[in-house]
Amino acid sequence: IKEQEEIEAKAIQIGSKDRSKKRVEASCFVSMEVGRKMANMLGTDHDLNFKETELCLGLPGGIAVVAAGNETESSSSPKTNGKRGFSETVDLKLNLQSKESTMDLNKNLDDNGSKEKSGSAKDPAKPPAKAQVVGWPPVRSYRKNIMANQKNSSEESGNSGAALVKVSMDGAPYLRKVDLKMYKSYQELSDALAKMFSSFTMGNYGPQGMIDFMNESKLMDLLNSSDYVPSYEDKDGDWMLVGDVPW
């Protein structure tokens, strides 16, 4: 009888450990939910600067979490779709929880498939996707392979060897660097540069009544107006109109 009691006692211990683990997981869900909602709110406002000024624990883009809390400098490689991937949110918001449950949840996310491209984050409480069935949906493996190869090569070219270019603006205290592969058009590059340089304060205006760069919306209007056109100096030293050469 004593043995049995011991066994039962052990069973209860194990049971309670599970329960507490579940409690931790449950609170993970809650904070993730909140974190996700916030990320979505921020993400959808693509034109406003919330992302740039948001206090966060690390750089968006899935780069390793940095502990310092007051880095406001935006990363050098903003994602062009404007939304932070779900897994990145999890990394940032959950480092207070137990490692175990974070890993469990991340595994869950992997099962559900990456959502970064479609831009919608999945409800974490939803069960993992059904196991893939052989030959379903009925797409020929030939076609499936090609689409998979395309995806791989676009991911590869994104990760391997960024096309980094130095950018300097007259009057700015230091230069910036941009990864040209992060942008798909001149407009996107132009917008990103505007954001990048709008954070500098300018104590004095230039002699010709230079534009107030502090006011970002003014800058955006300017860039989109017909009074000014974006141009660049090419390797031969000629000033060229942006757009003639396809991106």
Q: How far is the CB of 200 from another protein (least distance, A)?
A: 29
The CA distances from residue 246 to 164, 184, 241, in Å, are 19, 10, 12
Q: Are 188 and 46 in contact (CB under 8 A)?
A: no
Q: How far is the CB of 139 from another protein (least distance, A)?
A: 4
* Only segment of 14-22, 76-84, 149-157, 198-206 that touches another protein (CB under 8 A): 149-157
* Gap between the Cα atoms of 79 and 66, Å rounded: 18
Nearer to another protein, 7 or 147 (CB): 147
Pick from 16, 20, 44, 120 the residue near another protein by CB under 8 A: 120
Residues 151-180 that bind another protein (CB under 8 A): 153, 157, 163, 180
Q: How far is the CB of 170 from another protein (least distance, A)?
A: 24
**b (16+ CB within 10 A) / e for 190-212:** bbbbebbbbbeeeeeeeeeeeee
Peptide bond into 78 cis (omega under 30): no
Told to check if 231 binds another protein by CB under 8 A, we report no
Told to check if 130 binds another protein by CB under 8 A, we report yes
Pick from 226, 227, 235, 239 the residue near another protein by CB under 8 A: 235
Pick from 1, 30, 133, 175 the residue near another protein by CB under 8 A: 133
Told to check if 137 binds another protein by CB under 8 A, we report yes
Helix (H) or strand (E) holding 10: helix 2-44
Nearer to another protein, 180 or 210 (CB): 180
Pick from 15, 69, 138, 203 the residue near another protein by CB under 8 A: 138
Pick from 19, 47, 113, 232 the residue near another protein by CB under 8 A: 113
What DSSP line would sit under 167-206, residue for residue?
E--TT-SS-EEEEGGG-SSHHHHHHHHHHHHHTS--SS--
Pick from 15, 69, 135, 209 the residue near another protein by CB under 8 A: 135
**b (16+ CB within 10 A) / e for 154-168:** eeeeeeeebeeeeee
Q: Are 213 and 202 in contact (CB under 8 A)?
A: yes
Residue with tokens 């959502």: 115
Q: How far is the CB of 244 from another protein (least distance, A)?
A: 10
* Only segment of 40-48, 79-87, 139-147, 205-213 that touches another protein (CB under 8 A): 139-147
Which positions touch another protein (CB under 8 A)? 113, 118, 120, 129-130, 132-144, 146-147, 150, 153, 157, 163, 180-181, 185, 235, 245-247
